[in-house]
Amino acid sequence: MPTLAHSMAATTRAARTVPVPLGGRSYDVLIGPDLLSEAGRLVAGRLGKARCGVVTDENVARHHLAALEASLKAEGRHKGSIVLPAGEPTKSFRELGPLCERLLELGLERGDLVVAFGGGVIGDLAGFAAGILRRGVRFVQIPTTLLAQVDSSVGGKTGINTPQGKNLIGVFHQPALVIADTDVLKTLPPREMRAGYAEVAKYGLLGDAGFFGWLEQAYDGIFSFDRETLVTALETSVKAKAAIVARDEHETGDRALLNLGHTFGHALEAWTGYSDRLLHGEGVAIGMCLAFRFSESLGLCPPGTAERVTRHLTAAGLPTRLSDIPGGKADAGELVRLMGQDKKVRDGRLTFILVRGIGEAFISRDIDEPAVRDFLAREIAAS
């Protein structure tokens, strides 16, 4: 058994610890610099004798796998590593089956751990594999993109894409621990960093006007890796997500607020074929601007609000309009059809996250499809 002193020592390097309170499935999100070198001790100190099967992608492996393996090996916790191709197509049935078989071949037992070491793609896929392997083994998230550190590693949504749409197959499976090392972000391509920033801004836009105001002043510090700014942005984001997940783990209500910008964004991702034309976070950025402009057009929020949001996301280097997507014009009817594949469709009606102002998102189920189509047609015509 790990001693208390061992366990305490293993947590001291985390600059911040955010608990995700879910009864017997509670866990901590540890945020701070240089945590990768501590991963072995953190796992040993908190999760007992488990050994780790690491799942990662080729980019993360190139930059950081040696450090993680050394840390796990130093504590005798490394069972093996599996390196998958990078990119959204990896979140698929094609990769899931062989991944499960390779985890079994590593000899991972019921009490062992899958370690999801990568961005949201690896987190969603490896988390899903952990959820079904031997009818469910525990897993640890070590997120390596900004998007994964503030969003996808927390809350237990796992899954894969199919030709019918994104994330339509999956399970809720909470991690046992999340270790967010801010230093690993330094190797992230700048475009990926910007895409992840959309999810940071989302927390301000959906429920915390003060945080959005702070981001308008401080966002540069995130991109220049200012330690205090980055840790504060991550902590505030993760706390916001943890609070929502704690009151609605399985998205029967409030958790849908986290999908601000996602109904539009997912349709745009499907329309661009989940390709490099549009990263997930970029789709969310455009989607959030559309949600604000749509809310404004319905008279739900004060004129000028959408412009303020658009101005900030543009300053952060994100796309904000349909015309910012390269490679051809969207069609309003096609986008509405793609929205129909959204998981949040109920009785054939779309669920939209709309806003009364910055930090005042709400769930709306009474929007008519023609109103959305007309709005999108106007957006396309104006672009």
Q: Which chain residues interact with ligand NAD by CB under 6 A?
A: 57, 59-60, 63, 86-88, 91, 118-122, 124, 144-145, 147-148, 151-152, 155, 157, 166-167, 184, 187-188, 192, 195, 280-281
**Paired sense of beta strands 361-364 and 352-355, if any:** antiparallel
In the complex with ligand NAD, the residue whose CB is nearer, 120 or 319, is 120
Is 287 among the residues that bind ligand GLY (CB under 6 A)?
Answer: no
Judged by CB under 6 A, the residue of 155, 165, 175, 283 near ligand GLY is 155
Q: Give strand pairing partners of 361.
A: 355
Query: What is the nearest approach in angstroms of ligand GLY to the Cβ of residue 196?
Result: 12
> Would you say 65 or 301 has its CB closer to ligand NAD?
65
Residue whose CB is less far from ligand NAD, 225 or 378: 225
Among 151, 181, 249, 342, binds ligand GLY (CB under 6 A): 151
Q: 358 vs 291, 300, 325, CA distance in Å? A: 11, 12, 25
Could you tell me the smallest distance in angstroms from the CB atom of residue 287 to ligand GLY? 12
Interface map 329-348 toward ligand GLY (x if CB under 6 A): --------------------
Cβ partners under 8 Å of residue 338, min gap 6 = 165, 266, 267, 270, 271
* Residue closer to ligand NAD (CB basis): 157 or 344: 157
Residues 245-274 interacting with ligand GLY (rule: CB under 6 A) = 251, 255, 258-259
Q: Is 112 in the site for ligand GLY (CB under 6 A)?
A: no
Which partner in ligand NAD, ligand GLY, none is near 293 (CB below 5 to 8 A by kind)? none
Beta carbon nearer to ligand NAD, 191 or 373: 191
Whichever of 112 and 235 has its CB closer to ligand GLY, that residue is: 235
Catalytic residues: 135, 157, 199, 241, 251, 255, 259, 262, 266, 280
Pick the piece of the chain touching ligand GLY (CB under 6 A) from 79-87, 150-158, 206-214, 347-355: 150-158
255 binds, among ligand GLY, ligand NAD, none (CB under 5 to 8 A by kind): ligand GLY
**Residue 29 partner contact from ligand GLY, ligand NAD, none using kind-dependent CB cut-offs of 5 to 8 Å:** none
Query: Which residues of this protein are in contact with ligand GLY, per CB under 6 A?
Result: 151, 155, 157, 251, 255, 258-259
